[in-house]
Amino acid sequence: MRQTRKGIPMIKSMTGYGKAEIASGKGTIGVEIRSVNHRYGEISVKLPRQLLPLEHAVRKCVSEQVKRGKAEVFIQYGERGDAVPVPAVNLPQARAYHEALILLREDLGLNDPIPLALIAVQKDVLVTGEGESLSESLQDDLLAAVRQAVDCLDAMRLREGMMLLGELRGRRESLTALHSAIRMRAPLVVTENAVRLRERVSQLVGDSGVDDARLAMEIAVLADRCDITEELVRFESHLQQFDETLIADEPVGRKLDFLLQELNREANTMGSKANDAEIAGHVVALKAELEKIREQVQNIE
């Protein structure tokens, strides 16, 4: 379950490491987990042969906390040097061999007794605790070790996530400053374009006069063409969603990545519509900040 504290963002990095070791039965279970960036969630589990039946349970245990990123789980089980495996009797298998030997004796017309030693040496009559029986006996301890390792991994990812959050908030302030500068400049662009248009028309027509109605229409068209009010409003709305996402109690990496795409789209439109050198400079700075934020977001769960 995702760690939560009221009022405190729980952003997590996708990169981390966790380790745990538990004494179980006659041996020791060791678990290591490494996670790195990945677009989706991917969990690989490497188990010793005798614990392979528990792979699904281990994968499910890890996936409860690792929602995004590539996690590699390494599990080892080592028996103590003084541990002697106690054979288990497979009674159904023993009975089957006994019945088969009786049929064989009758078919051959023999009266010899069937010794226990003969049955005991048959395949799978005596097993030494490997395979499914061993995995079942270790399952609870194994999953406990996995949870401990995942908790260590999660703590490391949370610490790195808090560092990423500080970086994102700093860059977010830069976006606000640049957005404000563009918003202040935008109305002046319309006015300056209107003045330049009047001057050009006056130079062209000279003393023959200017059709004020037609000029006003052209100025209106020009103003509409370079108006970036809608883009500024949408950009600010995306910034607000960005802030809300940063404090969401769930994995936010994909949503942040999507919001950055939308912010970048609005920035591009502002630069092309405004057709103003000063705004173009602000847009370049905006896109540079967005790219730096995107690089950080790529490591967020």
**What are the boundaries of each domain within the chain?**
16-83+129-158, 88-126, 160-297
* pLDDT, tens digit (0-9, with 9 covering 90-100), for 158-193: 999 999 999 999 999 999 999 999 999 988 887 777
Residue 78 pLDDT class (50, 70, 90 cuts): confident
Question: What's at 224, amino acid-wise?
Answer: D
Which span out of 45-59, 70-84, 221-235 was modeled with the highest average pLDDT? Answer: 45-59
Mean pLDDT for the stretch of residues 236-265: 93
pLDDT score for 88: 77
Residue 206 has pLDDT above 60, yes or no: no
Q: Percent of the chain at pLDDT above 90?
A: 53
Task: Look at residue 250 in the predicted model and tell me its pLDDT.
Answer: 86
pLDDT score for 213: 67
- Residue 135: which residues within 8 A CB-CB, separation 6 or more? 50, 51, 52, 53, 54
Average pLDDT over residues 136-157: 93
- How far apart, in whole angstroms, are the C-alpha atoms of residue 28 and residue 26? 7
Averaged over 233-243, what is the pLDDT? 95
How many Å apart are CA 92 and CA 101, to the nearest integer? 14
190/116: higher pLDDT: 116
Which is nearest to 75 in space by CA: 168, 171, 149, 155?
Answer: 149
**Which of 39-48, 204-213, 289-298 is least confident?**
204-213
The letter for the amino acid at 146 is V
- The per-residue pLDDT of the chain, averaged, comes to 85
The pLDDT confidence band at residue 71, using thresholds 50, 70 and 90, is very high
Reading the block at residue 176, the tokens are 């606000």
Q: Give residue 2's pLDDT band: very low, low, confident or very high (50, 70, 90).
A: very low
What type of residue sits at position 144?
A: A
User: In sequence order, which residues have a C-beta less than 8 Å from that of residue 219 and are 6 or more positions away?
Assistant: 193, 194, 197, 198
pLDDT above 70 (res 34):
yes
Query: In the predicted model, is pLDDT for residue 214 greater than 70?
Result: no
31 bridge partner residues:
20, 75
Q: What is the mean pLDDT of residues 7-13?
A: 73
Q: How confident is residue 9, by pLDDT bands cut at 50, 70 and 90?
A: low
For residues 255-278, average pLDDT: 92
Q: Is residue 6's pLDDT more than 60? A: no
Report, as an integer, the average pLDDT of 272-296. 92
The answer as to CATH 2.30.30 being correct for domain 16-83+129-158 is: no
Predicted confidence (pLDDT) at residue 8 exceeds the cutoff of 60:
no
Task: Report whether 119 contacts 93 (CB < 8 A).
Answer: no
Report which of residues 125 and 59 the model is more confident about. Answer: 59
Nearest Cα residue to 296 out of 187, 160, 204: 160
Helix axes 253-274, 229-246, angle to 10 degrees: 160
Q: Is it the case that residue 205 has pLDDT exceeding 70?
A: no
Residue 260 has pLDDT above 80, yes or no: yes
